[in-house]
Amino acid sequence: MTALQSTDFSCWIDCGVNLPPDNELARFRDELDAAEEQGVGRIVLIASDVAETRRAITFAEQDPRCIVTAGVHPHQAAQVNDSFIADLKTLSQHPSVRAIGECGLDYNRNYSPPDMQRRVFAAQVELAIETGLPLYLHERDALGDQLAILQPAMADLSAAFTHCFTGDVEALAAYQDLGCYIGITGWVCDERRGQHLAEAVPAIDSSRLLLETDAPYLLPRNVRPRPKSRRNKPQYLVHIATYVAERSAIESEQLQRTTYQNAMRLFGAW
């Protein structure tokens, strides 16, 4: 494993990967090596709660290709204790932590009550303002409430990243009006449910576009030959990039350079 230098513009960056359980970390390291062979040289590890933030930091300390987020996913909002913001604030001081989140609202399944989701999200928005770190967002079926919390805070936030954006042109416009970065996953490659997203891709401001796999979820359906497992991997980011480049009518090399620069601007060099 060779860590690329921040001046090297020849790599893709996967801006959203979920850290597997401890007993799968050896395989995960092999997957990162395989991804680097495909030109995916940097990884953003997403945290969904305080414990996972700690695990991600430990992993990143051993692998310079990785940076991490520190936050509580809306699914876990009902499980926080009274110290969760203080804990995240302490963890956010680690140099590997480059964003607050994954946080936001998810009304699709409501694993946590919506009122609790809103309180936990609002607290993390305030933490992002206090720390000066970007906000790493999750949202599903909750656009109105998400925007209502975000809009008053945007002037004080350093930046915000809409992770795994799956919306249509109207939702894209709402996030872009706030100046958010937009993350595109393999959802866009799904001809069954990704059509609205595919139509929105050409309207994404190129200076705000980022690519991510959300591995091990959302295996791109344009991977050939079709993998036997539905497990997504960072190495498949190149298939998302190919699709996005075609939809955006730009060369792959230009997309790589643009998304690299965008990620460095958002998260800082690593």
Binding-site entries for a divalent metal cation: 102, 138, 163, 214
Residues annotated within the binding site are: 102, 138, 163, 214
Asked if residue 70 lies in contact with residue 47, where contact means CB atoms within 8 angstroms, the answer is yes
Characterise 20 by phi-psi region: left (phi > 0), alpha (psi -120 to 50), beta (else): beta
